[in-house]
Amino acid sequence: MTEQKNNTLIEVEDLRVYFGTPEDPVRAVDGVGFTIRRGETVALVGESGCGKSVTALALARLVPEPPGFYAGGRVLYEGRDVLGMKPRPLKQMRGNDISYIFQDPTASLNPVFKIGYQIGESLRLHRKGVHVRKETLDLLRLVGIPDPEQRMYAYPHELSGGMQQRAMIAMALACRPKLLVADEPTTALDVTIQAQILELLGSLQQQLGMAVLLITHNLGLVAGVAHRINVMYAGRVVESGLTEEVLSRPRHPYTKGLLEAVPQLEGVEGKLRGIEGSVPNPRALPSGCTFHPRCPYRRDICRAQEPADEQVEEGRYSRCHFWREL
């Protein structure tokens, strides 16, 4: 029991992040729970607007308040309540213990500062007394940027997309975080560059022993990288479990639909089915199970009653009334 406790890095319990006014909120994240253990890779999968990025930001209490507000639930980082933290320890934690990389490196890098300076920024802030130049060079080497002595004086626009993302990763790793949150880290990159960045993230993770929360819509990516997976839909985790289990035997119609919607390299017989309709508007969520209007297995109960988060087996959950029948 104690060992397991020590193993848990982050625990999210019934997290609710809403936007707008408390009287008429948009429920972006509405009761999300999961854990991340030390050194493991956990994936948060879902389509645009499902709340995956907001969940990720909430881990370090980074959702802008207002318009956002935390309507309930807890985020525990090594047992400490992040949402209730005072500004100073919160600042200590951000970038130092938890750091982020985002989809579009051009948007995350400041165009008027040199790469080296931007990487050194968190070193100067969090790790007083280190030799910033030497450490920056080491980081650039670590993420595989060639000629680091020259490149550290380059401006972001002088680097290619792949190199910019490497620079972002270097920045995120500057303080050797325990958790790296990667929000669609390869979506904006070309396929061959994607492969490079994934390879890099994998090897860095092993080298540094950090945990990674991978946020993506790409199930193919998850299949190769993540240990565990949480599938999100309309602000909730609808299915979770070991990647292999979830992807080979989905226990929620949404997961199943997503898997059937992805064209495979091997080609497919006949037509792909996909999922009818589109992602619901978070301002007007359907009654009962929020997936029911798009679900091929829906019955009357789905419209009326919201399914509970039922345990399928140890560590495996599904929010579907009929998971047994899938």
Partner 1 sequence: MRTAGQGVRKRSDGELLRMDDLRVYFGHRKAPVRAVDGVSLSLMRGESVGLVGESGCGKTTLGRAIMRLVDVEDGRILFGGYDITTLKGGDLKAFRKQVQMIFQDPYGSLNARIPVGRAIEEVLYVHKKGDRAQRHKRAAELFESVGLDSEYLDRYPHEFSGGQRQRIGIARAMAVDPKLIIADEPVSALDVSVQVQILNLLRDLQEKMGLSYLFVAHDLAVVRYVCDRIMVMYLGRIVESGRAERIYSFPSHPYTEALLSAVPDVGKGLKARREGRGDRIVLKGDVPSPIRRIPGCPFHPRCHRVRDKCRTDVPALREVSPGQWSACHYAEEILESSRDSGRPAQA
**Rounded to an integer, what distance in angstroms lies between the CA atom of residue 180 and that of residue 183?**
10
Please tell me what DSSP assigns to residue 28.
Answer: E
Q: Which listed range, 20-28, 90-98, 272-280, 316-324, lies at the site for partner 1 (CB under 8 A)?
A: 272-280
- Is 217 a residue that touches partner 1 (CB under 8 A)? yes
- Is 270 a residue that touches partner 1 (CB under 8 A)? yes
**Would you state the structure tokens that stand for residue 277, as one six-digit string?**
């309709």
- Is 4 a residue that touches partner 1 (CB under 8 A)? no
- Is 206 a residue that touches partner 1 (CB under 8 A)? no
Q: How many residues bind partner 1 (CB under 8 A)?
A: 50
- Is 209 a residue that touches partner 1 (CB under 8 A)? no
Answer for the pair 122, 175: CB distance below 8 angstroms, yes or no: yes
Among 269, 300, 314, 325, binds partner 1 (CB under 8 A): 269
Which residues have CB under 8 Å from 253's CB, separation 6+? 291, 295, 296, 297, 320, 326
**Rounded to an integer, what distance in angstroms lies between the CA atom of residue 13 and that of residue 34?**
7
In the shown chain, the binding pattern of residues 164 to 203 toward partner 1, with x for contact by CB under 8 A and - for none, equals --------------------------xxxxxxx-xx----
- Is 272 a residue that touches partner 1 (CB under 8 A)? yes
User: Please, what is the minimum distance in Å from the beta carbon of residue 69 to partner 1?
Assistant: 26
User: Please, what is the minimum distance in Å from the beta carbon of residue 226 to partner 1?
Assistant: 9
**Rounded to an integer, what distance in angstroms lies between the CA atom of residue 111 and that of residue 35?**
36
- β strands within the chain, DSSP E: 8-20, 25-37, 41-45, 68-77, 80-81, 98-101, 179-183, 211-216, 228-233, 236-242, 310-313, 316-318
User: Please, what is the minimum distance in Å from the beta carbon of residue 274 to partner 1?
Assistant: 3
Comparison of 57 and 229: residue with beta carbon closer to partner 1:
229
In the shown chain, the binding pattern of residues 273 to 302 toward partner 1, with x for contact by CB under 8 A and - for none, equals xxxx-xx--------------x--------
Mapping DSSP onto H, E and C, the string for 139-201 reads HHHHCCCCCHHHHCCCCHHHCCHHHHHHHHHHHHHCCCCCEEEEECCCCCCCHHHHHHHHHHH
- Is 261 a residue that touches partner 1 (CB under 8 A)? yes
Comparison of 213 and 222: residue with beta carbon closer to partner 1:
222
Q: List residues binding partner 1 (CB under 8 A).
A: 47-48, 160-163, 190-196, 198-199, 217-225, 243-244, 247-248, 257-259, 261-276, 278-279, 294
